[in-house]
């Protein structure tokens, strides 16, 4: 089954954007996934296709109307559509690698991209949309966040990346950041490659990579390190934790 993404946005021309290039673009051409982006303004009201209004209670900015968003969702989400509905918002729960794996394992996604001050809360509740943020910062709209989320999911689809082992060793796959990488030349600008990587001792290399991953996680992401220690204490280590495979980054509101 083809993995299907639908995006509701005021700027459908932003899609597929970078997702139409490189491995994701090739996979799309091969039919492994597809995407349709629809203009929310097509469901706007009046001669000017208005999609927003001033907020009740006062305040700066405009709020996207619930009736307009509801019509857009109904027009592009058939009855019984099993795909999750995700609203990209800085108020949402932080997007994780586990979310990407969950979404990639399903039939696809419908993504809601807000603008202005965001959506009226009533349509968020009525639609059952999952509120997700790709990072602790604010963007001009949900479109860049949607591209980030989709990229994180698409690279996990069978046949897109082609290297299951590579995916297993990326940042976050085992709850740790990824170890550093080196390639030729063996010495550059007076900086040699760590000798263990040239030793041919695969056990020593795995141990070195494990230590590097743990050190990076402890120093750069104390939140991930605390969760990693908690799994150790509880005995709920993942297969990656046990073997020393660690995982590369995703990002993103």
Report whether 133 contacts 78 (CB < 8 A).
Answer: no
Which segments are annotated as binding site? 114, 134-139
**CATH number of the domain residue 181 falls in:** 1.10.1270.20
Residue 252's pLDDT is: 37
Report which DSSP code applies to 77. S
**Domain edge (last residue) among 154, 176, 191:** 154
Which segments are annotated as binding site for S-adenosyl-L-methionine? 114, 134-139
- What integer is the mean pLDDT of 180-189? 96
7 and 118: one domain? yes
Report whether 111 contacts 146 (CB < 8 A).
Answer: yes
Residue 253's pLDDT is: 37
Q: Is residue 159 part of a domain?
A: no
Q: Is residue 253 part of a domain?
A: no
- Pairing relation of β-strands 85-94 and 108-113? parallel
- Pairing relation of β-strands 187-188 and 130-133? unpaired
**Domain edge (last residue) among 106, 121, 154:** 154
Q: Is residue 248 part of a domain?
A: no
Neighbouring-strand partners of residue 64: 52, 119
| DSSP, residue by residue, 116-178 | TT-B-HHHHHHHTPEEEESSSS--SSHHHHHHHHHHHHHTTSTTTS--HHHHHTSTTTTSSPP
φ, ψ of residue 74 in degrees (nearest 5): -60, -35
- What integer is the mean pLDDT of 68-72? 98
111 and 175: one domain? no
15 and 91: one domain? yes
**3-state SS class at 245:** coil
* C-alpha span between 212 and 206 (Å, rounded): 10
Report whether 174 contacts 240 (CB < 8 A).
Answer: yes
- Residue 240: CB atoms within 10 A of its CB come to 19
pLDDT digits (tens, 9 = 90+) for 194-206: 999 999 999 999 9
Q: Could you tell me which of 139, 130, 134 has the C-alpha nearest to residue 94?
A: 134
pLDDT digits (tens, 9 = 90+) for 170-181: 667 678 999 999
Q: How many structural domains comprise the chain?
A: 2
* 24 pLDDT higher than 90: yes
* C-alpha span between 108 and 41 (Å, rounded): 24
pTM: 0.85
Domain that holds residue 117: 3-154
């Amino acid at each position: 089954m083809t993995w299907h993404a639908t995006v509701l946005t005021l700027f459908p021309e932003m899609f597929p954007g970078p997702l139409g290039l490189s491995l994701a673009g090739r996979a799309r051409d091969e039919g492994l996934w597809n995407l349709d982006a629809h203009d929310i303004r097509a469901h706007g009201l009046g001669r000017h296709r208005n999609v927003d209004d001033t907020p009740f209670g006062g305040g700066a900015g405009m709020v996207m109307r619930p009736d307009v968003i509801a019509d857009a969702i109904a027009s592009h989400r058939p009855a019984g559509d099993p795909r999750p509905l995700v609203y990209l918002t800085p108020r949402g729960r932080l997007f994780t690698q586990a979310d990407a794996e969950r979404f990639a394992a399903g039939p696809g996604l419908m993504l809601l991209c807000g603008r202005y001050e965001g959506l009226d809360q009533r349509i968020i509740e009525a639609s059952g949309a999952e509120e997700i943020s790709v990072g602790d910062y604010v963007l001009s709209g949900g479109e860049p966040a949607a591209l980030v989320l989709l990229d994180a999911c698409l690279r996990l689809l069978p046949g897109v990346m082609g290297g299951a082992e590579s995916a297993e060793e990326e940042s976050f796959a085992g709850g740790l950041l990824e170890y550093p990488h080196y390639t030729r030349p063996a010495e550059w600008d007076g900086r040699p490659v760590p000798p263990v990587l040239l030793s041919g001792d695969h056990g020593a290399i795995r141990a070195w990579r494990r230590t590097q991953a743990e050190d990076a996680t402890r120093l750069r992401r104390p939140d991930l390190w605390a969760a990693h220690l908690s799994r150790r204490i509880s005995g709920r280590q993942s297969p990656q934790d046990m073997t020393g495979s660690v995982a590369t980054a995703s990002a993103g509101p």
